[in-house]
Amino acid sequence: MSPTHVTFSGFRQLMRMAAMLSVVAGLLCCPGCGDGLHRVTSVVLIDGKPAAEGVQVMFLPQGDTWVANGTVGSDGLCVMSTRDKRGVMRGEYVVTLVNSKRSIPLPDTPIDESKGRPPKDFFAYSAAVQKLLDNPPAGPEWIPKSYADMARTPLRINVPKDGSNVKFEVPSNTGDDKADKRAGGAAK
């Protein structure tokens, strides 16, 4: 047998090994796998003042990455996470901001899943939350609803390889959706 001669069983073994290497390479390169997350800390300012605790920040990918989200804490900062892990994948994102629901009192009755349906005060709570999100109050500390709509928000971010600290500055809700849209916002 010459050194270049390969038997049929040897060829099958070689093909199996090539297939396994392809799978391993694919797993290492897939979005969210490995160490592809970069630390991103953001601060949200409304009329130059820190946003309320509980404001939701979401990075919606414009490429082959995963959604990242975070919640503004009592210190005014928001550490972004992707799939329950701290960090954001490198790439371009549209940024949405959703007003904090903490101004709406939680239901008094705890949800008991064994009863099969939530208590009546939970429905009132859900309705109040939806009303807040659909029509945020006018005035300071309230983010215009256009910032919660990925098609209308002017906020964008490009997450670099080393992550970043970013500041989102938005105007408060004036109650005039057209004026709020013209006011825009900025990521710095």
* Domain boundaries along the sequence of the chain: 37-187
Enumerate the H helices of the chain as residue ranges.
Answer: 8-29, 120-134, 177-183
Predicted pLDDT at 120: 74
Q: Is the dihedral of CA 142, 58, 82, 104 positive or negative?
A: positive
SS3 call for 170: strand
Task: Grade residue 98 by pLDDT with cuts at 50, 70 and 90.
Answer: very high
Predicted pLDDT at 176: 58
Q: What are the pLDDT digits (tens) for 31-46?
A: 444 458 999 999 999 9
- Over the range 170-185, which residues count as b (16 or more CB within 10 Å of their CB) and which as e? bbbbeeeeeebbebeb
Task: Judge contact between 65 and 42, C-beta under 8 A.
Answer: no
Q: Which CATH number fits domain 37-187: 3.30.2350.10, 3.50.50.60, 2.60.40.1120, 1.10.12.10?
A: 2.60.40.1120
Q: In angstroms, how far is the first alpha carbon of the chain from the final one?
A: 69
pTM summary value: 0.69
